[in-house]
Chains A and B, each alone.
Chain A
């Protein structure tokens, strides 16, 4: 058989869509058709709901879907990170049980990595998994878990050996969230939103077949999940077709996306809302103030610099260059932009910036910026960790002396 070309793929998917796309199907029925045909995730292996197509051809398929407003597979939230990890490290049992329901959207997932005692130092996890001869028993606590309150399954990193050095004693599991030993509590942030959860395990159980990869290989598997997360596989919900389409399948999809997106509604404010700086300055007349102008100029320069840098990174990757330190660089740039934006909005609004809700400037959006920005330099790796990455991996500076290389049980830890 000839290798598929852009033309042959386009032709084939068009024909298939013409024969099969039906906006009157239920969301799950339609997505089952996608899973059976391989057109929903054409980049995946043929054996597992895909068509083994190269990324470029897979995007051709996406274009054809978008052209006729056909709904795609479920992509939002943690589910695509789970899928990528299972495809790379999972057994056939995992693939069979989980992948299809990930694509149809029937199951939602969460990521159980961070703990109260180990944020930046992720490998210092102390949630324990003990084998009782039949099953794994889980005890401990996770935190910052988006969507845990409605997730069906969790990707769990837990300690299975306390005598080995910390990275070697971790194992990766798939945990059923709907069981008695799992308690989920919302965690309220200083901006008033509650986007994340704390998850408590009290003798929660995992059958041995839901261990992923070898015992002790947890760190390696977690790195796969995180690499996909950095590449942006964790979808913030966006449909690949026009918004505002009517019909039952679109309604269903919109509801799905809305549920996943709910925790992220303050994220634009977290980034500082650079887009509002000039319009606000004009609207309030503060644009005439020389100091305000200078501070806005600084902000716009920082923001443009970050934008061009991101574009350069994308261009380099498109030319096949390996992913460099751009992630750390962009994160630090984003922190600086957010802080400066917060400063600018305060300068523009003056005391009005204090008022929240409907009393406040722009119905409280300005105030929400001020109390959301501090998250930017922490979430997804603190500024300090990003600077270490740049210093060590880009500039080649030696690591600091470490005190955590011996058996994990002897490593000084947080008292919890």
Chain B
């Protein structure tokens, strides 16, 4: 098992980091946070041009056919930059759903467009308060199409299609559907969230024409599979963001004076930052493990994904809140950048299932592992 990236992968990291440093400063993030735009279209075009959206898409569908290790590297850097892009919805979720369950026709239709960035996909599970379960789903499908409401759907306002998890009377209680969003029987409305640098929407379907993705009654299993894969990639984003928060706190502490010396010389501050470093590094170890499991389709993936997910949620939240604390009052202002990692950490801690959900998944996975 690899615990470090290869030389080529590290080169990719340097390129990605350098590119985002030039084109995705916190000024760019702030522009989306403050403005009406849902995402930075100029940056998206450049990211697409660099081939990032095509990373793991097989070459036969116009992708680059690279591994999940490359995608992990990109995810970490996007997370570090708080990139205001629909990358995760389109790449970690929609693309994964198509690769995992799409028919050849569906793949042929969508994957080349996803690779080329001419289509953006999104993923819709939740329908409001609480964690969705097959029983809680009210969105369903009949002969006329999909009906129901999904909220919040990341990038739902700008995506071209959505993968909808809908209730189903048979099988595991759910089915997945591909729904083109450019049709009259879908209405979408942008919703406000605590992270306005990433847009979200409410989607209403009234007998929207839809194609089954995978088999009927296997939607819940498919969802778990996609979540396990996406969790590793989100965890890399989270660790990237947590490292950025630590870096911010360190820079500030070393330059800020109180009682005649830099606050970085006080153990109260040092230990806070050391704790951030420890949590980040431990979470990152889990991300490496997860990336390995993902890139080799290892049987350990559910356990690796859950540990990476939970450790990354905890590390990012901790780093982002302690970064604000290190900055003092100014850290709480709109003017300072401390809000970016904090908002993003909150968003990423609930988007594909909360900490508690993933802890439960871990225990179940270990129980099954030991029973086998």
Q: A333-B282, A397-B253, A401-B261 are in contact. Are A308 and B362 (CB under 8 A)?
A: no
CB of B264 closer than 8 Å to a CB of A:
yes
In the complex, which residues 198-213 of chain B have their Cβ closer than 8 Å to any Cβ of chain A?
none
CB of B270 closer than 8 Å to a CB of A:
yes
Q: Are B267 and A388 touching (Cβ within 8 A)?
A: yes
Measured CB to CB, the closest approach of chain A to B22, in angstroms, equals 25
Q: A297-B360, A312-B4, A329-B278 are in contact. Are A397 and B285 (CB under 8 A)?
A: no
Chain A residues with Cβ below 8 Å from B1 are 311
Please name the residue on chain B nearest to A400 by beta carbon: B265
Docked Cα-Cα span, A294 to B363, in Å, equals: 8
Q: Are B4 and A315 touching (Cβ within 8 A)?
A: yes
Q: Are B4 and A296 touching (Cβ within 8 A)?
A: no
Please name the residue on chain B nearest to A394 by beta carbon: B277
Measured CB to CB, the closest approach of chain A to B273, in angstroms, equals 6
A-B contacts, CB under 8 A, total? 118
Binds B, one of A100-108, A259-267, A299-307, A408-416: A299-307
Docked Cα-Cα span, A195 to B241, in Å, equals: 45
Q: A297-B359, A329-B281, A397-B270 are in contact. Are A305 and B264 (CB under 8 A)?
A: no
In this complex, the member of B261, B264, B281, B283 whose beta carbon has the largest number of chain A beta carbons within 10 angstroms is B281
CB of B139 closer than 8 Å to a CB of A:
no
Q: Are A395 and B250 touching (Cβ within 8 A)?
A: yes
Docked Cα-Cα span, A309 to B3, in Å, equals: 9
In the complex, which residues 257-316 of chain B have their Cβ closer than 8 Å to any Cβ of chain A?
261-262, 264-267, 269-271, 273-275, 277-278, 281-283, 285-286, 288-289, 306-307, 310-311
Docked Cα-Cα span, A279 to B57, in Å, equals: 43
Q: Which of A278, A290, A304, A329 touches B307 (beta carbons < 8 Å)?
A: A304
CB of B356 closer than 8 Å to a CB of A:
yes
Measured CB to CB, the closest approach of chain B to A121, in angstroms, equals 14
The prevalent SS among residues of B at the interface is helix
Q: Which of A302, A332, A398 touches B264 (beta carbons < 8 Å)?
A: A398
Chain A residues with Cβ below 8 Å from B281 are 309, 329
Measured CB to CB, the closest approach of chain A to B366, in angstroms, equals 7
Q: A304-B307, A390-B277 are in contact. Are A397 and B360 (CB under 8 A)?
A: no
Chain B residues with Cβ below 8 Å from A308 are 3, 285-286, 288-289
CB of A6 closer than 8 Å to a CB of B:
no
Chain B residues with Cβ below 8 Å from A390 are 274, 277-278
In the complex, which residues 348-406 of chain A have their Cβ closer than 8 Å to any Cβ of chain B?
384, 386-388, 390-392, 394-401
Please name the residue on chain A nearest to B287 by beta carbon: A308
Chain A residues with Cβ below 8 Å from B360 are 290, 293-294, 297
Q: Are A397 and B254 touching (Cβ within 8 A)?
A: yes
Q: Are A305 and B311 touching (Cβ within 8 A)?
A: yes
Contact with B along A309-324 (1 / 0, CB 8 A): 1011001100100000
Chain A residues with Cβ below 8 Å from B270 are 387-388, 391-392, 395, 397
Docked Cα-Cα span, A321 to B275, in Å, equals: 24
In the complex, which residues 311-369 of chain B have their Cβ closer than 8 Å to any Cβ of chain A?
311, 356, 359-360, 362-363, 366
Contact with A along B47-73 (1 / 0, CB 8 A): 000000000000000000000000000
CB of A33 closer than 8 Å to a CB of B:
no
Q: Are B278 and A401 touching (Cβ within 8 A)?
A: no
CB of A298 closer than 8 Å to a CB of B:
yes
Q: Which of A300, A306, A315, A399 touches B282 (beta carbons < 8 Å)?
A: A306
Chain A residues with Cβ below 8 Å from B4 are 312, 315-316, 319
Measured CB to CB, the closest approach of chain B to A333, in angstroms, equals 6
Measured CB to CB, the closest approach of chain A to B65, in angstroms, equals 27
Q: Which of B3, B267, B282, B370 touches A400 (beta carbons < 8 Å)?
A: B267
Contact with A along B1-24 (1 / 0, CB 8 A): 101100000000000000000000
In this complex, the member of A305, A395, A399 whose beta carbon has the largest number of chain B beta carbons within 10 angstroms is A305
Q: Which residues of B contact A (CB under 8 A)?
A: 1, 3-4, 246, 250, 253-254, 261-262, 264-267, 269-271, 273-275, 277-278, 281-283, 285-286, 288-289, 306-307, 310-311, 356, 359-360, 362-363, 366, 370
Q: What 3 A-B pairs have minimum CB-CB distances, sorted nearest first?
A: A297-B359, A391-B270, A387-B274
| A/B interface sample: 12 pairs, CB < 8 A | A278-B366, A293-B363, A301-B306, A304-B286, A308-B286, A315-B4, A333-B282, A390-B274, A391-B271, A396-B254, A397-B265, A398-B265
